[in-house]
Structure 1
Amino acid sequence: MVPFLPDAQYQYFPIVATFVAGYAVIVLEEQTEINKAATALILGVLVWVLVGTGVDMTASEFDSAIAETLQNVAEVVFFLLGALTIVEIMDAHKGFDIITQAIKASNQRELLLTIGTLTFLLSSVLNNLTVVIVMVSLLQRLVEDEDFRMKLGGLVVVASNAGGAWTPIGDITTTMLYIGGQVTTVPLLANLFAPSFLCLVGAMGYELMVIDGSKPFERTKEVETEPVKGQALVFWGGLLGMIGVPVFTAFTKCPAWSGMMLVLGLLGLVTSLLHEPNDERYSLKGALKRIEVPDALFFLGVLFAVGGLERVGLLKEFAVQLGQLVPDESLVAIFLGFASAVVDNVPLVAATQGMYDLSAHPANAGLWNLITYCAATGGSLLVIGSAAGVAFMGMEKEVSFGWYLRSVAPAALVGYLLGVGGVLAQQSLGFSVSLLFASAGTQDWKAWK
């Protein structure tokens, strides 16, 4: 018998056991010294092997399930590869120097506040995965002290997930609930900005208590070099292009990865016109050689494994059984936030959409506000709980599950609980906006992959 699945058949046990064992190896990467990308790939394939050989599915049903999962995962991986390559091209042109020179923070406290606030605002209009890639790349060019830089990177993960919770395009789960009609634009902004900001304030406040805020931070040593041709054009073109991807997705109905690839192609065209054909320092070809492919493979393996659990209904059944075990719906939403720190929040939110009917809980009801907040921010509690965390783990090689649990999770937990308190306080004081505002273009938004 599998926990939370009292009626499950025996064939589900090997799938769950394999998933738990694989995650354990990823968690214990520091102790086992086994590459997490290799573990993730093995885990992803083994889950589907067990689905194909141990679950009662016809060949056509299995082919359809694995193809649809692979498509969803591939879209995220292509999005990640596109964003990483764009950032690499921007960095090759010394583009991040434009921002690092503009940051006048003189000590750790000022820099932490600057980075946290900037990340929070950016992630409200830009996919949080992209924000983490850009901000961590910026930190790597700005902060020399590795420990402090990693601490800031962890805050970036928390701030990006918090910033994505209060706008329809900031986080994939928020977009899902927006498209499903559970939340609408104006009430979403009014109801979740304050709790999301409280999440940021809680995390930053905790970090400010554990660091020496007055201590000057060590900037990365700047090497005097010749200005790179097209520096400003490539940097601002790449950044504005990535910010424009949600708009492209909304109006063209094309998936997000295609918008990111369009930006990459245009940037590749610009660099081809700016530089000599054989100069790979600044070209698209050279950037593709320098990006870290293992990051994408780790992503692929983890998402592929989670997709297997989703396809056989384990994640939805988990959410339903949790709802039956916990009598209070608010507690269910809070627990789902904790669950999203371990497994993908997308299927968990999809399950809640099926659990609660709009006739009983109309759009912008308190339950939907709480689910929206918890699903978006709960993934910050563990490094593997969100796309932002997984990307951060890939970009900073010294970041492990254990390090994040010790160094970032306490701040993330404080922020998460403070935001939950904010949502509940708003509702109890009658400050929540529940009017059904018309949301222009709702049907045109695509799920933000």
Structure 2
Amino acid sequence: MRPLQRWSWVWALVGTGVDMSTEAFDVAIKETLEDVSEVVFFLLGALTIVEIMDAHKGFDIITKSIKATKQRELLITIGVLTFVLSSVLNNLTVVIVMVSLLQKVVKDDEFRMKLGGLVVVASNAGGAWTPIGDITTTMLYIGGQVTTVPLLANLFVPSVLCLVGTLGYELAMMGDKPFERPAGASAKEDDVQPNGQAIVFWGGLFGMVSVPVFTAYTQCPAWCGMMLVLGLLGLVTSLLHDPHDEHFSMKGALTRVEVPDALFFLGVLFAVGGLERVGLLKEFAVALTNVCPYESLVAILLGFASAIVDNVPLVAAAQGMYDIADHPANAFLWNMITYCAATGGSLLVIGSAAGVAFMGMEKKVSFGWYVKSIGPAALAGYFLGVSGILGQQALGLSVS
């Protein structure tokens, strides 16, 4: 519980330094914990489902279909595949899967690192336009700032433009020569398909995609739908494998999920909730509006800030800064914040969990290398996506 304890001091200050009755404090802390727990349960369910799919080598179904032989062809294939997968799966997991794939497909270190950096950008762009693609988008979806259909309609084009801008910049700089694959074939055990590989992969994928539909029709919280999918997938795996084989089971998947990361999110959101309760975030929003009256510029600056500071507390703060009564669901401000927070982290390698994971998997990647080699392409994609949102708003094409 260390991540949660690390942030609980905010509520200690609220309880001792604010003129609030015991009853009011009790209600405030319970309501805040209830709200932020929805995000954590949703995230834990999604991560566990992906772990089950990965244990069954489900991603091999897609990655083994890559037959590219030239650099530009592989760049486009990897970029588009990453973008699509990240829209329905956790973008951190997609980066891990795609970088692992590149290490098996590309021998040249520099070219592989270049593709890996572009995978980070594509994964963050792909996660921006769906409720389940990125943790910050999920937070805004559960918080009611965005809803499913308007989110898809408003951010699909900007997210695609971000991908197009990034890949277009690199295609202009890259030659179209063949690339060399590592020598040697895969180990025999890597070619063994676990029992139920296709059922688990496509079932988990379809289940996660259907969660927003389940929420819309049943009016249940989004985490209920995700947990339902997890339960059904756990039932399927228990029928497919020996009860004592925990590698493929839901129990085994839960042991591999990064629970400390989920608790970190819980702690951050819990602390920001305390600041919201005492009105500090709203006061900051008023001051920020007085200094910078343009909502689009505020959102763009939040995107740059997310490249340096974790975007989770930034989005949580934005949710508390702006009242949903003044900025209703799917308003222009929320569209901008959703896009900028998700894709702004791509500008630096430390700006997103996906970037940090990439740096850990490719030991030769450094902060400076990323700024020089990936930063310009990421910046081009970021601003092209911003222009897409502004263009939609100017033409009256935004969906509310």
Per-residue deviation, residues 37-84 of structure 1 (Å, max 9, x unmatched): 96x545422333333333333222322222223223322222222222
Q: SS of 1:228's equivalent? A: coil
Q: 1:254 is paired with a residue of what secondary structure?
A: coil
Shift, 1:216, TM fit: 2.9
Is the contact made by 2:91 and 2:354 (CA closer than 8 Å) also made in structure 1?
yes
Aligned match of 2:13: 50
CA deviation vs aligned residue, 1:247-285 (integer Å, no higher than 9, x gap): 112112222222222111111111111111212222222
For residue 66 of structure 1, the aligned residue among 22, 29, 43 is: 29
1:60 and 1:261, CA in 2 relative to 1: closer, same or farther beyond 3 A?
same
SS in 2 for 1:56: coil
**TM-score under structure 2 normalisation?**
0.76
| Residues 171-220 of structure 1: per-residue CA shift (max 9 Å, x gap) | 343783456xxx9849x83x654433222222334455677775637579
For residue 256 of structure 1, what is the amino acid of its counterpart? Answer: A
Shift of 1:302: 2.9
Correspondence for 1:270: 236
- Does 1:196 find its partner at 2:155? no
Q: Is the 8 A contact 2:165 2:380 kept in 1?
A: yes
Residue 154 of structure 1 is matched in structure 2 by 120
Shift of 1:108: 5.0
Q: Who is 2:318 aligned against?
A: 348
Q: Could you tell me which amino acid in structure 1 is paired with residue 315 of structure 2?
A: N
2:289 corresponds to: 323
Q: Say if 2:212 is the partner of 1:246.
A: yes
5 Å matches for 1:113-132?
113-121=76-84, 126=88, 130-132=89-91
2:275 aligned with 1:309: yes
**Amino acid of the residue matched to residue 63 of structure 1?**
D
Number of the residue aligned with 1:136: 95
Partners of 2:347 and 2:271 lie apart in 1 by 13
User: Residue by residue, what CA displacement relative to the aligned partner does 1:92-124 show, whole Å, maximum 9, x if unpaired?
Assistant: 222111111112233554344334334444566
2 CA distance for matches of 1:328 and 1:270? 51
Alpha-carbon distance in 2 for matches of 1:273, 1:356:
51
Q: Which residue of 54, 57, 64 maps to 1:91? A: 54
Q: Which of 378, 381, 384 is the equivalent residue of 2:344?
A: 381
Query: Against the structure 1 CA distance between its residues 47 and 115, is the aligned structure 2 distance closer, same or farther, given a 3 Å change threshold?
Result: farther
Higher deviation after alignment, 396-405 or 67-76: 396-405
5 Å-filtered alignment, 1:430-441, equals: 431-433=395-397
CA–CA distance in 2 between the matches of 1:249 and 1:95? 26
- Listed as ranges, the gaps of 5+ residues in structure 1 are 1-36, 440-449
Quick one: distance in 2 between partners of 1:87 and 1:119?
Answer: 15
Equivalent residue number for residue 82 of structure 1: 45
Aligned residue identity for 2:225: G
1:422 paired to 2:381: no
Q: State the secondary structure of the residue aligned to 2:188.
A: coil
Alpha-carbon distance change, 310 to 123 in structure 1, aligned in 2, over 3 angstroms: farther
CA distance in structure 1 between the aligned counterparts of 2:353 and 2:347, rounded to whole angstroms = 5
CA displacement, residues 340-393 of structure 1 (integer Å, 9 cap, x when unaligned):
6643325525644558478xxxx98xxx436513432334323799xx934664
Rate the CA distance shift 1:158–1:91 in 2: closer, same or farther, 3 A: closer
> Counterparts of 1:44 and 1:355 in 2: how far apart (Å)?
28
TM-score (norm 1): 0.69
Identity across the alignment (%) = 52
- Report the Cα distance in structure 2 between the residues aligned to 1:196 and 1:328, rounded to whole angstroms: 22
Q: Structure 1 residues 64 and 115, CA, compared in 2 at 3 Å: closer, same or farther?
A: farther
Q: Distance in 2 between matches of 1:392 and 1:84?
A: 18
Q: What is the identity, as a one-letter code, of the residue corresponding to 1:57?
A: M
> 1:52 & 1:213 partners in 2: Cα distance?
63
Aligned partners of 1:200 and 1:415 also within 8 Å: yes
Gaps spanning 5+ residues in structure 2: where?
Answer: 104-108
Instruction: Pick which of 368-377 and 230-239 moved more.
Output: 368-377
Question: 1:196, 1:238 → 2: CA distance?
Answer: 24
- CA distance, structure 1, for counterparts of residue 35 and residue 346 of structure 2: 21
Question: How far apart, CA to CA, are the structure 2 residues paired with 1:304 and 1:212?
Answer: 49
Q: Which moved more, 1:207-216 or 1:319-328?
A: 207-216
- Describe the shift of the 1:114–1:352 C-alpha distance in structure 2 as closer, same or farther (beyond 3 A): farther
Q: Give the direction of change, closer, same or farther, for the CA distance of 1:210–1:296 in structure 2 (3 Å limit).
A: farther
The 8 Å contact of residues 211 and 225 in structure 2, kept in 1 or not, is answered as yes
1:199-210 paired onto structure 2 within 5 Å: 199-208=162-171
Query: In the alignment, is the contact (CA less than 8 A) between 2:36 and 2:269 conserved in 1?
Result: yes
Q: Alpha carbons of 1:398 and 1:42: their partners in 2 closer, same or farther (altered >3 Å)?
A: farther
Structure 1 pair 353–53 and aligned structure 2 pair: CA distance change class (3 A):
closer
Equivalents in 1 of 2:262, 2:347: separation in Å? 14
The equivalent residue for 2:106 is: none
Kindly provide the CA deviation profile for residues 378-425 of structure 1, in whole angstroms up to 9, marking residues without a partner as x. Answer: 34323799xx93466469756999689847665443323222233444
